Every structure is written in structure tokens, then in C-alpha cells.
Amino acid sequence: MSNVPLRDDDEIDLLRLIETVWAGKRIIASIVAASLLSVIGFNIAIPDTEFIASTEIKPITSVEFDRYSLFNESLKVIAKQQSNEKQELKNENVFNIFEITREALLNLYIEGIEEGSLLETGIDKFNLINKDDFESESDYKDAVEKIASEIEVLSPTKEKNEKRLHYVLSAKYYDKDKWKDLLTFVDKEVNKKVKASIINRFATLISIQNQKKRFALRDLGIKIDNVKKDYDRISKDRLAFLNEQAAIAKKLDIAKNTIASQRFNAQNTFVTNVKTNAPFYLRGYLAIEEEINQIKNRKDKTSFITNLYDLEKQKRTLEQDESIERAIKLFDETPLNQTDFQATIVKVATTDFETNNKKNLYYALAIVLGGVIGVVYVLIANAFANRRNDIVTS
């Protein structure tokens, strides 16, 4: 028996495979080139135009905000009056009852966008999706809502991998002109919405303040009437008392004051002891009747009505107060009463469009896939060639 080992046909000769692949390198290169050219041709024929649009939303400048300063001061006056009327609020911060700030304007603007209805209206208005591509109206509306929900308002962040100084409106789309039209429309409508919201809130505040003023004046009027009625009642009771005392004094024939005054010597000092608890009729009917005549003949009773002057002074101060009117006038001078009102700074023209294609990835995949196909083809072709040679030699 021979000691020469038998050859196992199932073993893979790695070096032989490498030689085979190297021998067919031109075929592999041709297949890779064909695959790459196919992908390039596809991208040229049907380009991937999707992009990520990013638009910054910034607060208004300090110069623009200064146009609200006088109005904010006028509202502090109203708040201060409220604090004076309600002493329990004295230590509370009531000065920001309706203060307009850059942050407040920015937040209202962001809320207007995130609410979504204006985005949906704009998507439909500028045909960001083709309505004819949907079988029903409900399917179209669902698609519009889906696109609107995918439009994000990114908050400012200080993360290293994604640093943003301002809010950013971000979305994916493929038509720059339509997207700019949508942004312009939404920016205009959101500003209108913010403006209307602030004007309505201010009008509500003014209405409440005017109502409180009317109620306060009415309450003071009631108090004034009450103290006058109280005076009449007090005077009536006083006259009844005086008439009774005068009658007693006449009956006792006491014409003048007879309240006793006793003097006595105590340690070489004279002290007068006046009986202050003596009956009133001892003053004498002449003095009592004179007081009755004075009360009855008073032409101007206001000087004798307790607290009347204080109440009238409060009413006069309230009637002459013009803080609400001044607040309205100052409000009218703010940008809110002008056509160029802007709650934020949004420049549609500066929108950043980052192309969202994957050409490089597709090219890499084409090269890899072409290489794999080329290697497989060369190996299979070589295997068939070897089989044919084996058949011929046998």
C-alpha cells in the first residue's frame, strides 16, 4: 500500500482562490464600475432633493423692546392702586399684572406655532402635498396633520453635540420655494394671533379696572348717602332728647346752667370739683333751646356729618384718576397698535437648507455590492471552467 496521502477534494485551497480572484480582477473591476455607474445614473435621473430646513426664532431686540417700556410703567400704576385698595396684597408682587416682556412675546409666538392649526392651514394653502394622491378627504387631512406634527420647534440647548442659542423651526421637505411660502404665511399669521391675544387680554384688564372703578364709586356713593341718613337720624334723636330736657328744665324753672361747683381747701390748694354726671337739664332750658334752634336752622349740614369729608375726598380722587386712560393711550403707542408688529425675529430668507441625501452611502454600497458580485462571478466561472477541463481530460 502506498504511503502517499489521498487528496480531499472538499478542502478549500485559499491561495488558489486568491489567485483565481486576482486573475479575474479586470472582470471584478468592470462589474464594480458598472454598478457604480448605474447608481450615478439613477441619482442623475431621479435626484434625491429632500432637505432639512432650519429657521431661527429670536426674541425682539432691546431697541424694539424699549417701545413697550412706558406702557409697562403705566400698568405698574394700576397695580399699585390695587395694592393700596387691598392692604393684604401690600407685600405681594403685583407689579407684573400685565407686563410685556421679550420672553412673553417669544413664548406666545412659540405656542402659536406648536398649536398646529396655522401649519395645517399653510400646508393645505400652498399644496405641500398633492391632494389628488389621496382617495378621500379624511386621508388627505390625516396626511396634512402628520406633516404638521413632524415640524418641530427645537428649544435652545447648550449640549456640545447640538448647541442652539435660539429656538429653531425644523422640518424635512423637498421644495424650497413652497417651504419659504409656508414660513412667510405662518410667521405673518402667528404674529397676528399674538397681537390679537395681547390686545384682548389688555382689553379685558381695562374692562375689569373700569368695572372695579364703577363699583368703587357706587360703594362710596352709598356710604355718603348712608352717613347723611345717619346724620338725619342722629339729629332727630338729638332733638327729641333736647326737647325732653328743655321741658324738664322749664318745669323746674332752670333757665341757666346750675351745675354745682364746689371749692374746698386741701393742703392750702384750691380744687374745683365739677359734677360731670349731673342731669343734662341742669344746663338750663335757655342753652338747650338755643342748641335746638341751631340744629333746626342749619343750612349746611355737611360740616357736622362724621366721616363725610373723608368719603367725598376718596370719591373725588377716584373720579379724577386717569391712570386707566393713560394706560390705554400708552398702549396705543406700542408696536401692538401698528401694522409692523413682530413678536419675534424670524428671517425666512436666512433659512438654512441642509441637503438630506445619501449619495456617498449609495456609492459605497454600489462599490461593495459590485465587488461581491464580481468575486462570486469569477469564482463560479472558474469552477465551471475547471469542471469542463476535468471532463475533457477524463
Predicted pLDDT at 345: 94
User: How do the pLDDT tens digits run along the chain, 394 residues long?
Assistant: 445 444 445 456 677 777 777 877 788 888 888 887 887 776 666 555 678 899 999 999 999 999 888 888 777 656 555 555 554 434 444 334 578 899 999 999 999 999 999 999 999 999 999 988 899 999 999 999 999 999 999 999 887 777 788 999 999 888 889 999 999 999 999 999 999 999 999 899 889 889 999 999 999 999 999 999 999 999 999 999 999 999 999 999 999 987 654 334 444 444 444 455 789 999 999 999 999 999 999 888 888 999 999 999 999 999 998 888 888 888 888 898 888 899 999 999 999 988 755 667 777 887 888 788 888 877 787 777 777 776 777 6
Rounded distance, CA 133 to CA 139, Å? 10
Rounded distance, CA 139 to CA 160, Å? 41
Predicted pLDDT at 340: 84
* Residue 316, domain member (yes or no): no
Contact, 85 vs 219, CB < 8 A? no
Phi then psi for residue 154, to 5 deg, are -85, 130
* Residue 194, domain member (yes or no): no
Q: Which amino acid is at 80?
A: K
| C-alpha dihedral sign at 15, 17, 20, 22 | negative
Residue 251 CB-half CA count within 13 A: 7
Number of domains in the chain: 1
* Residue 388, domain member (yes or no): no
Task: Show the domain range for 20.
Answer: 13-48+358-379
* Residue 281, domain member (yes or no): no
- Which residues are bridge partners to 164 per DSSP? 157
* Residue 217, domain member (yes or no): no
Q: What is the dihedral of CA 234, 235, 237, 243, to 10 degrees?
A: 160
| Residue 195, H or E segment | helix 176-251
* Residue 74, domain member (yes or no): no
Q: Is 307 left (phi over 0), alpha (psi -120 to 50) or beta?
A: left
Rounded distance, CA 288 to CA 254, Å? 11
* Residue 23, domain member (yes or no): yes
Q: What is the dihedral of CA 374, 375, 379, 384, to 10 degrees?
A: -10
* Residue 394, domain member (yes or no): no
Rounded distance, CA 113 to CA 125, Å? 16
